[in-house]
Amino acid sequence: MTPDDYEEKFENWKNYQKFLYNERMLGIDDIAVFVRVAELRNFSAAGRDLRLSAAVVSNRIGNLERRLGVQLLNRTTRRVALTPEGEIYYDHCVRILEEVERAEDAIVAQRAQPRGPLKVTAPTVFGRMHLVPLIPQFAADFPDIQVRLDLSDQLHDLIRESYDLAIRVADLKDSTAIVRKLADNRRFLCAAPSYLENHGTPKQPDDLLAHTCLLLRFPGSQQFRWVLNGKDGPVTINVSGAMDSDSGEAIRDWCLAGNGIALLSVYEAGHDIKDGRLKVVLPQHPPPGHGLYALYPHGRYVPPRVRAFIDFLAKAYGAKAPWLKGLPKGLKP
């Protein structure tokens, strides 16, 4: 064999290795696209999430199906659904992507701090008052993590909307997500002194039926049913009012302006109660307290950047949350 033969054989080998590498990389990219389409059930939505055109997404899925020799998705003009083969493939693909991320994180951990984008959703008022002020310090402590904070009072689907983490103030006994409690929270019925002067002060839970109540409404919200602690157990009052909103911030502002009675958390109304801008209504019948929780998708790999953020918040809020300190006597936990 001549030197030219060796050189030709070597070049062919390099090209073959390059081909295999490109095929593997394209396969991982196609898998990531397929997973987002399967979760969002929509090519355009997956494209927006991945910053790709719907045509590119469709081509990627087509490439994947041709390579596998099966149809993974049933497509109609309105929606996309997984085929039985697609259901099986999706479960494996999720694990593959998690293993890839876990492998990358293991390498990064050897030489650097946690890194990458962190997509977080939190309630509007809580986020503005108690989360937004902490983000700059977290960014300084972890400069390689990019925090993408979405403040909304609506409940987001963590998987479908690709959130890494949700901060929730609720009763999460039946949550299907992984939950870590960060702090305690209390809730009160509150009204401005001006409202109580003009409309009177409720003496018992049923009196609320004659009052204007400010309601937080969004799909899935149950806040038009206020549950209060009564002498013989919980009492449910179907309250009503002329003003409601999907924004907790709007409810608090209306309450401060004397427009009605609101059910507020101590983290959003604590300072107003301490300073006399709001009065606690029916203090002998408080609503059950809720905790502050961090949620992340069940069964998914938890990247170091998510664990770092949760640990940071747990340390910042401490054993006793700052919003529980300094409450007037009789309202303390």
Q: What is the pLDDT of residue 67?
A: 84
Tell me if the pTM is above 0.85: no
3-109 with 187-281: one CATH topology?
Answer: no
Q: What is the pLDDT of residue 106?
A: 67
> pLDDT confidence of 320, banded at 50, 70, 90?
confident
Q: What is the pLDDT of residue 112?
A: 61
Report whether pLDDT(276) > 80: yes
Strands 279-281 and 187-191: antiparallel
User: How many C-beta neighbours within 10 Å does residue 320 have?
Assistant: 11
Q: What angle do CA 25, 302, 85 make, to 5 degrees?
A: 55
Q: What is the pLDDT of residue 9?
A: 44
Of 100 and 285, which is predicted with more confidence? 285
Q: What is the pLDDT of residue 25?
A: 43
Q: What is the pLDDT of residue 197?
A: 96
Q: What is the pLDDT of residue 304?
A: 86
pLDDT digits (tens, 9 = 90+) for 119-144: 999 998 899 999 999 999 999 999 99
Domain 3-109 has CATH 1.10.10.10: yes
Residue spans per domain, the chain = 3-109, 116-185+291-323, 187-281
Question: Do residues 168 and 228 touch, judged by C-beta distance below 8 A?
Answer: no
List all residues 6 or more positions away from 283 whose beta carbon is below 8 Å from its beta carbon: 188, 330, 331
Q: What is the pLDDT of residue 28?
A: 80
Question: Do residues 188 and 328 touch, judged by C-beta distance below 8 A?
Answer: no
pLDDT digits (tens, 9 = 90+) for 91-114: 888 888 888 777 776 666 655 678
> pLDDT confidence of 229, banded at 50, 70, 90?
confident
Q: What is the pLDDT of residue 22?
A: 43
What homologous superfamily is domain 116-185+291-323 in, according to CATH? Answer: Periplasmic binding protein-like II (3.40.190.10)
Where are the alpha helices (H) located in the chain, listed in sequence order? 3-40, 43-50, 54-68, 84-109, 124-126, 135-141, 193-199, 248-256, 266-274, 304-317
User: How many C-beta neighbours within 10 Å does residue 275 have?
Assistant: 8
Residue whose pair of structure tokens reads 């409404």 in the numeric block: 217
Report whether pLDDT(220) > 80: no
CA atoms within 13 A on the CB side of 109: 10
Percent of the chain with pLDDT over 90: 33
Pairwise CA distance, residues 192 & 195, whole Å: 5
List all residues 6 or more positions away from 217 whose beta carbon is below 8 Å from its beta carbon: 223, 224, 244, 245, 246
> pLDDT confidence of 17, banded at 50, 70, 90?
very low
Question: Do residues 177 and 243 touch, judged by C-beta distance below 8 A?
Answer: no
What homologous superfamily is domain 187-281 in, according to CATH? Answer: Periplasmic binding protein-like II (3.40.190.10)
Q: What is the pLDDT of residue 221?
A: 62
